[in-house]
């Protein structure tokens, strides 16, 4: 029977599974963050925390904010988004069109620590609006729990998955999906994709050109013990991979999709007998003037002509160089990895 | 409808046992409403046979008298078949062990419903039997469906939540009762489980796995599903030595474990095509014996057998 979706949310949140090669598949989302936004707000509604006119406060200048704004527009919730100044104007217009109030925190010259400033602003907004609801995607366990539809899709379509690869921002998508898949496939290899300047897997915090993945703070939803492998992909590499994904497969996706594609394509080539799946979080339209624009890439010193063929294997996060690198995380905790005696001599970290 | 003496007839009914469930939990329907549901593992080692003779007086005599739910089932079926004023003589013969999770009660109830319906010249669909069965005993397994027809069954409502349209992959099951005292569980005193929302989410993925295992005829994926379901159920009705049994399953190359979610039996699932099956089974039996479990049973999910049909 042909399905009729009850609302736009259900229609857009459902991802598409596409075969790239014999052993390599991608889960392409139009807007992945609809899944956790939808699940978190449904649970809050069921718990009696939300009603028409309720105020939702969140910090986001990206896809999670957009997902929230879409649902709030349909359900009549009032949304206040606290954002940093890097928010692109067309997204800001779209959020406002959906009825969200976008608050830009300013007066912060240095990029580093802006997330903390955003969190501080949230605190004061919360004092202004008692009875608010805070979805808190970084720490809310309902974020990873929202990914059953992805696990269901993979189980039902493929019957078996050997390796799942995705980018890590809040950790929700990859930790959530893999947690469900491992109920059936405990051996599943999980490879997380992070970027340079992100603290998630032990690198120092720095300004990042590649947005959406990585983090300056450590979210509770990053379950370090879920990861077998961690890759660090720099912005230029991710952007070129995004373009190549479009050129070769006509998949018009965002920059984090490019990062996931770069790593997963390599992984699938290395393991021809394994079924490899990558999560591609959003579409390319938001990035037409940036990632898909050579002038912008050149201005930002992020125009590459060739992708590295393979990553550089390191044994400790401190060994990571500025290019695509990876290490075997081996399902350890952050502390176990970072405090593991570091024996390398040639690293800039020592 | 007026009933004449000519209508007084004898009916026969039969129903198999089951060996617990492949999957049991809570599942959303298309509208998103949640239902308790299960997928039964039929077991043709044991069965119940029932004979029912309609009498014009309203008394129902059950023999042996211990089968109390059968009495209720007979009464409800007579009513359903427009013979409310009638009674009859119900004779049950069952070799199903009690209170371990073999579904002796549902088997009694189903065989009774079939026998009574036949005596009344009614042919009931499995869906109708299911409705009468849950009225008679509050919660039923889905043994009223043909063993070829795997269904996700709402055991407290008597309705089919999903049909899988294909038989199960053929499995070899080595089962035993984890409760050596034989006291067992009374399904009626076992209150409905309050699953966490994480578990309810997890059941969606397990159900997807079951669908795929049946569609692909993949016994390995099926073993993963049953093991995961058994694992979740450890929070509610734990089987003793569960970790040791899991280890034994993986050591012997079993597909996984499978349990009676409201009983005490556990099964090791094997692919009957696996090399050295007999050696593997022997290893299981030796370990079970060492653990104090001296009695076991063994059966296969059949390609084609079903209880005698009521052809009224
Ligand atoms: C475009 C994009 N890709 C990837 C991610 C990372 O996903 P997650 O937060 O589930 O780790 C995000 C998170 O915001 C995102 O916006």
B positions 118-137 inside 8 Å of A (CB): none
The complex scores an ipTM of 0.90
- Residue B100 or residue A327, greater confidence: A327
pLDDT value, residue A140: 97
Cβ–Cβ gap B198/A180 under 8 Å: no
Taking residues B276-286, report their average pLDDT. Answer: 96
- Residue B147 or residue A89, greater confidence: A89
pLDDT value, residue B56: 81
**Residue A242 Cβ < 6 Å to ligand 1:** no
Q: Judging by DSSP bridges, how do beta strands B256-259 and B265-270 pair with one another? A: antiparallel
Give the C-alpha distances (Å, rounded to integers) separating B50 from B10, B91, B140.
Answer: 10, 6, 18
Taking residues B106-121, report their average pLDDT. Answer: 94
Place of tokens 């947690």: A179
Residues of A in contact with B216 (CB under 8 A): 159
pLDDT tens sequence across A178-205: 999 999 999 999 999 999 999 999 999 9
DSSP class of residue A227 equals -
Give the Cα separation of B78 and A322 in Å (integer).
Answer: 80
Give the C-alpha distances (Å, rounded to integers) separating A153 from A150, A160, A260, B222.
Answer: 5, 11, 19, 17
Taking residues B33-45, report their average pLDDT. Answer: 95
Give the Cα separation of A330 and A340 in Å (integer).
Answer: 12
Taking residues B204-232, report their average pLDDT. Answer: 97
**Residue A54 Cβ < 6 Å to ligand 1:** no
> Measuring from atom 7 of ligand 1, which residue has the nearest CA?
A169
- Atom number in ligand 1 closest to CA A64: 14
Average pLDDT, chain A: 93
pLDDT of residue A347 exceeding 50, the answer is no
Confidence of residue B182 (pLDDT cuts 50, 70, 90): low
pLDDT value, residue A188: 98
pLDDT value, residue A115: 66
A77-114: burial string, b at 16+ Cβ within 10 Å, e else: bbbbbbbbeebeeebbebbeebebebbebeeeeebeeb
Q: Which CATH architecture has domain A8-32+141-335?
A: 3-Layer(aba) Sandwich (3.40)
For the domain bounded by A34-128, which CATH number is listed?
Answer: 3.40.50.1100
At B206, list the tokens. Answer: 């397990």
Region(s) of chain A under CATH 3.40.50.1100? 8-32+141-335, 34-128
pLDDT of residue B97 exceeding 80, the answer is yes
B positions 198-217 inside 8 Å of A (CB): 198, 201-202, 204-206, 208-209, 211-213, 216
pLDDT tens sequence across A42-78: 999 999 999 999 999 998 878 999 999 999 999 999 9
pLDDT value, residue A114: 63
pLDDT value, residue B118: 94
Report the percent of chain B where pLDDT is more than 70: 91
pLDDT of residue A319 exceeding 90, the answer is yes
Residues of A in contact with B202 (CB under 8 A): 148, 180, 183
Cβ–Cβ gap B205/A180 under 8 Å: yes
Domains of chain B: 5-163 (3.30.230.10), 171-301 (3.30.70.890)
| φ/ψ (deg, to 5) at B250 | -75, -35
pLDDT value, residue B99: 80
What SS3 state is found at B19? strand
- Residue B30 or residue A325, greater confidence: A325
Q: Does B312 touch chain A (CB under 8 A)?
A: no
Give the C-alpha distances (Å, rounded to integers) separating A93 from A96, A99, A252, A300, B280.
Answer: 5, 10, 22, 24, 66
CA of A170 to the centre of ligand 1 (A): 7
pLDDT value, residue A339: 87
Give the C-alpha distances (Å, rounded to integers) separating B180 from A128, B95, B105, B177, B261.
Answer: 64, 19, 21, 7, 17
Is A260:A277 a contact under the CB 8 Å cutoff? no
pLDDT tens sequence across B128-161: 999 999 999 989 999 999 877 899 999 999 999 9
């Amino acid at each position: 029977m042909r399905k009729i979706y009850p609302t736009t949310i259900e229609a857009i949140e459902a991802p598409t599974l596409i075969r790239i090669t014999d052993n390599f598949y991608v889960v392409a989302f139009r807007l992945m963050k609809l899944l956790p936004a939808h699940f978190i707000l449904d649970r809050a509604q069921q718990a009696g925390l939300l009603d028409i006119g309720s105020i939702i406060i969140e910090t986001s200048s990206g896809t999670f904010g957009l997902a929230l704004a879409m649902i709030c527009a349909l359900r009549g919730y009032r949304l206040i988004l606290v954002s940093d100044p890097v928010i692109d104007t067309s997204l800001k217009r779209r959020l406002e069109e959906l009825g969200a109030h976008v608050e830009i925190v300013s007066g912060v010259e240095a990029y580093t620590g802006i997330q903390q400033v955003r969190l501080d602003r949230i605190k004061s907004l919360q004092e202004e609006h008692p009875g608010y609801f805070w979805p808190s995607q970084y720490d809310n366990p309902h974020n990873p729990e929202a990914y059953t539809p992805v696990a269901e899709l993979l189980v039902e379509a493929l019957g078996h998955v050997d390796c799942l690869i995705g980018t890590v921002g809040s950790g929700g998508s990859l930790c959530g999906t893999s947690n469900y898949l491992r109920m059936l496939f405990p051996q599943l290899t999980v490879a997380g994709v992070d970027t340079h300047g992100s603290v998630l897997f032990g690198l120092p915090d720095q300004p990042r050109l590649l947005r959406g993945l990585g983090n300056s703070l450590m979210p509770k939803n990053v379950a370090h013990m879920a990861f077998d492998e961690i890759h660090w992909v720099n912005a230029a590499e991710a952007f070129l991979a995004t373009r190549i994904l479009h050129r070769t497969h006509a998949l018009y996706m965002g920059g984090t999709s490019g990062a996931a594609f770069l790593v997963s394509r390599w992984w699938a080539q290395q393991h021809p007998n394994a079924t490899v799946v990558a999560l591609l979080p959003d579409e390319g339209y938001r990035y037409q003037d940036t990632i898909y624009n050579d002038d912008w890439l050149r201005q930002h010193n992020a125009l590459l002509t060739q992708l590295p063929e393979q990553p550089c294997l390191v044994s400790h996060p401190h060994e990571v160089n500025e290019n695509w690198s990876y290490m075997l995380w081996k399902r350890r905790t952050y502390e176990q990895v970072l405090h593991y005696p570091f024996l390398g001599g040639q690293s800039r970290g020592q | 409808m007026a009933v004449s003496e000519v209508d007084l007839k004898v009916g026969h009914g039969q129903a198999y046992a089951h060996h617990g469930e492949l999957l049991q939990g809570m599942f959303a329907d298309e509208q998103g409403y949640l239902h308790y549901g299960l997928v039964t593992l039929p077991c043709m080692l044991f069965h119940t046979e029932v004979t029912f003779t309609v009498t014009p007086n309203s008394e129902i005599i059950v023999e042996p008298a211990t089968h109390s739910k059968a009495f209720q089932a007979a009464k409800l079926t007579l009513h359903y078949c427009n013979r409310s004023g009638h009674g009859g003589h119900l004779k049950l013969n069952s070799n199903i062990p009690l209170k371990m999770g073999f579904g002796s009660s549902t088997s009694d109830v189903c065989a009774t419903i079939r026998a009574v319906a036949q005596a009344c010249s009614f042919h009931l669909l499995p869906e109708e039997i299911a409705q009468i069965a849950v009225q008679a005993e509050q919660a039923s397994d889905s043994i009223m469906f043909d063993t070829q027809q795997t269904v996700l069954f709402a055991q407290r409502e008597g309705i089919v939540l999903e049909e899988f349209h294909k038989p199960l992959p053929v499995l070899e099951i080595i089962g035993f009762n984890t409760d050596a005292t034989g006291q067992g569980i009374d399904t009626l005193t076992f209150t409905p489980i309050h699953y966490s929302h994480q578990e309810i989410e997890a059941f969606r993925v397990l159900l997807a796995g079951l669908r795929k295992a049946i569609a692909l005829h993949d016994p390995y994926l099926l073993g993963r599903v049953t093991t995961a379901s058994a694992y979740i159920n450890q929070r509610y009705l734990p089987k003793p030595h569960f970790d040791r049994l899991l280890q034994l399953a993986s050591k012997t190359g079993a597909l996984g474990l499978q349990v009676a979610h409201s009983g005490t039996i556990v099964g090791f699932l094997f692919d009957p095509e696996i090399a050295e099956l007999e050696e593997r089974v022997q290893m299981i039996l030796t370990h079970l014996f060492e653990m104090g479990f001296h009695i076991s049973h063994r059966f296969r999910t059949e390609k084609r057998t079903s209880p005698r049909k009521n052809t009224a």
